[in-house]
Amino acid sequence: MSQYVSRLGGSRVAPRIRFPGGFPGSHRRPRRIAMLSVHTSPLHQPGTGDAGGMNVYIVELAKRLAAISIEVEIFTRASTGALPPTVQLSPGVLVRHVDAGPYEGLAKEELPAQLCAFTHGVMQAWAGQRPGYYDLVHSHYWLSGQVGWLAAQRWGVPLVHAMHTMAKVKNAALAEGDTPEPAARVIGETQIVRASDRLIANTAEEADELVRFYEADPGSVAVVHPGVNLDRFRPADGRAAARARLGLPQDAFIPLFAGRIQPLKAPDILLRAAAVLLDRDPSLRHRMVVPVVGGPSGSGLAKPEGLQKLAARLGIADVVRFHPPVGQDQLAEWFRAASVLVMPSYSESFGLVAIEAQAAGTPVVAAAVGGLPVAVRDGVSGFLIPGHDPEAYAGALARFVDTPELVGRMGAAAAAHAQSFGWDTAASATSDVYTAAMYEHRRHVRSHHG
């Protein structure tokens, strides 16, 4: 049963049900699942607005599940009138656009008020199908979990939920000037933890947090590491070729930030660290480029030009290059071109970007938070930094400046490390979780009616 175990408190906990030959009786996998992604469409460009790692996660997981004969229908909120109600994303993966609130200009914080309308749309789609059409509901993020809770109960099927991020964890590690998550979200997440048949955590630490902060039943938590598209994110023809294509100087030191621009992701730490490096070695100014690839999001939308102003204030505007979000293929090019990816996040459930960069052959300097210690092998594929002191980040970056061959050496180790994070592994482990949830759900129903 591959990764169907939850690791809690550092020890491996066997699932509550385990049979030598799989599950007794009808231990089938689901034929078709309803996947819920209320606030972010799998068709959106990651790195813009609320679209990020979760979009990539849902798209890749759905495609790989379809490849192992589990059909996936993804319900998401319609955020444009330009797309038809249903879009075939790939064979076996259908995206259903649900009308809930205005298409444009609705912030994530305003979405709870649209959950009734969204649930209505999901129920309408289901009502048009034959009985037993969906075998299971898999919801992503708490907004979807609220809808999933209701749908799963109404359809008499199990609910599998992935938090992606948690309010209590975020609030325990807020960036300065960032807004805490509202109480309504904390209550919503607590309800979903109780209602779910299975919870999928990205890492053992996230599994711990579900138990510690939300009193989740340890036996219902399964750890499944997200994957990375290893065909797309690979070293390809190397750093020099990628730099030539992006118009970047061949011999420059290039520490890259890629992601949503908001306090939580802490791109300002990279800028401050770059200023420290230039202070220590002014000659670096002619051979350092700091690309920031991404768009403002979340609480960063209030001051979209804040980072540009910071670069000017630090006197490094000449070395920083701001670039709008790019598609996945282009993102892989940026990773290949960079000397190192810098991820100073305050909270990160997994840090998919770190795996993608490593798969492209680029080392990572990251904050030692959330899932990043799983994503990055400290001292092998990059460096983990405790805390958010720009001086500490500058120290780690200086090692690459002082020893240029470290980029190639750690980059090769990074590419090797990332190989164990393929999506096929993640999809197979997820299908095991579905099978267990269905088996237990049936057993539970039988015991109540027996």
Annotated binding site for UDP-N-acetyl-alpha-D-glucosamine: 45-46, 53, 260, 265, 326, 348, 356
Residue 343: exposure state from Cβ atoms within 10 A (0-12, 13-18, ≥19): buried
What is the DSSP-derived secondary structure letter of residue 387?
A: S
Q: Residues annotated as binding site?
A: 39, 45-46, 50-55, 108, 141, 165, 185, 260, 265, 326, 335-336, 338, 348, 356, 362
Element (H, E) at 412: helix 405-418
**How far is it, in rounded angstroms, from Cα 434 to Cα 151?**
16
Q: Residues annotated as binding site for 1D-myo-inositol 3-phosphate?
A: 39, 50-55, 108, 141, 165, 185
Q: What SS3 class is residue 395? A: helix
> Are 290 and 321 within 8 A, CB to CB?
yes
Provide DSSP, 52-67.
Answer: SHHHHHHHHHHHHHHH
Length of the chain counted residue by residue: 450
State how far the alpha carbon of 242 is from the alpha carbons of 212, 236, 255, in Å: 44, 9, 15
Q: Residues annotated as binding site for Mg(2+)?
A: 335-336, 338, 362
* Residues 6+ positions from 294 with CB-CB distance below 8 Å: 47, 257, 258, 259, 260, 261, 265, 267, 324, 325
User: How far from the centroid of its chain's Cα atoms is residue 411's Cα?
Assistant: 22
Strand bridging mode 86-90 / 340-343: unpaired
Q: Treating both helix axes as pointing N-terminal to C-terminal, what angle do 423-449 and 53-67 enclose, rounded to 10 degrees?
A: 80
- Using the CB atoms, write b or e for 355-388: b if 16+ within 10 Å: bbbbbbbbbbbbbebbbbbbbbbeeebbbbbeeb
